[in-house]
Amino acid sequence: METSAIRETVDALRTRPTADVLVIGGGVNGLAVLRDLALQGVDAALVEADDFASGASGASSHMIHGGIRYLENGEFRLVRESVQERNRLLRTAPHLVTPLRTVVPIASFWSGLLAAPMRMLTHVQRRPRERGALLIKVGLTIYDTFSRGNGLVPRHRFAGRARTRTEFPAFHERVRYSARYFDASIPDPERLCLDLAHDAIEAGARAVNHVRAVGFRDGEVMLRDEVSGAEFGFTARVVLNASGPWTDLTNAALGAPSRHMGGTKGSHIVLDDPELLAATDGSEIFFENSDGRVVLIYPLKGRVMVGTTDLDADPRSPPCARRRRSTTSPISWASCSPASRCAVSASSTASRASVPCRATTTSSRASSRATTESSRSNERGSSC
């Protein structure tokens, strides 16, 4: 392959094929590490096999959150760190990250009060139990303490039946309370990743996409330019694998097989339904399905994102998004179940989620205009 066919950014790696740190993976974690290293004066380079933020980073739930549900597992340190990182992004990237009002519909007061402490102490996942107002109140109070004094988001607030009905008339009659708290929204996570890349490059780092780490030979990481096909060796004192769900595949390619990640994927559907959008009142609606799976209804760029599934998946398999599946599969509101909830079902996915609504008729508008444009996750796959 002639040098003229090599991109300038790739040529910069070939002409100086060494660095103190080589980062493999151009998602938000890899790019954030690269930026941090570069700002400290470390000679660092990064390669990404596809586009920057093309995997889990660009196919997330579009939220920056502290992981409130991990409090129940006793992971206080993790939640505290996540809340602090959320606040830093709200402060340093207000053009990308904004406060997100989150509303939790609640049907009981005492439910889950005994199960939660047992889960925290034993870390055993028993039969899912709906969380009641008292348990959620305790969790949100702890959550607020981790964000105390930041001045960026308001503290949580509880509402009784009357106020809940006034603010969210579309909630089902069984909803007796609602809790409101704030996390953060990031409608365009790819832009955050590109900002990180630009900062790193301006500080002297090298970041190249469409370059894959394909092997390890004679002390060198073998890199292949996916555009030209050229291969070359690269040496580094430290090689950092930040390839997310593909971590084990990357390790195998480098001759260090591992089984750290397993494989799961979550999926979202995006609905063009003005009625549902209006019912959210600009808030994320966050609750648990009867099987314990977290469900969210989230206004996103004039549409509504609904998610998410959590299915086992093989990271070596191509995601459904690349199989040219129909993006106009019908989505309908089913009538209320005996549990007095409504179900949203999508024939393009294998998921079924219970939603605290009162809709009992089929919406032809939602059926004809629904899309699955966000049906990617930590594997970029929709749930088939």
Q: What is the spatial distance between Cα 182 and Cα 100, in angstroms, rounded to a whole number?
A: 5
The two beta strands, 44-48 and 206-209, are parallel
Q: What is the DSSP letter of 50?
A: S
Together in a domain, 246 and 289: no
Together in a domain, 211 and 354: no
Q: What is the spatial distance between Cα 269 and Cα 319, in angstroms, rounded to a whole number?
A: 15
Quote the tokens at residue 93: 């990237």
Q: Long-range contact list for 152-159, CB < 8 A, 24+ apart?
A: 152/87, 152/90, 152/91, 152/99, 153/87, 153/90, 153/99, 153/182, 153/183, 153/184, 154/182, 155/181, 156/180, 156/181, 156/182, 157/181, 158/133
Together in a domain, 224 and 334: no
**Helices and strands in the chain, H and E counts:** 10, 19
Together in a domain, 195 and 49: yes
Together in a domain, 276 and 324: yes
Domain that holds residue 317: 263-384
Global pTM? 0.76
200: CB partners within 8 A, 6+ apart? 31, 34, 35, 37, 38, 39, 44, 46, 207
Q: What is the spatial distance between Cα 95 and Cα 114, in angstroms, rounded to a whole number?
A: 42
Together in a domain, 279 and 243: no
97 lies in a domain?
no
Which pLDDT tens digits describe the chain residue by residue (384 residues)?
Answer: 344 467 999 999 999 999 999 999 999 999 999 999 999 999 999 999 999 999 888 888 899 988 888 887 788 999 999 999 999 999 999 999 999 999 999 988 877 665 655 565 555 555 556 778 888 898 899 999 988 767 788 899 999 999 999 999 989 888 999 999 999 999 999 999 999 999 999 999 999 999 999 999 999 999 999 999 999 999 999 999 999 889 999 999 999 988 887 777 778 889 999 999 999 999 999 887 766 677 889 999 999 999 877 777 777 776 654 444 333 333 222 222 222 223 232 323 333 333 344 333 333 333 333 333 333 333 333 222
Together in a domain, 221 and 283: no
Together in a domain, 325 and 369: yes
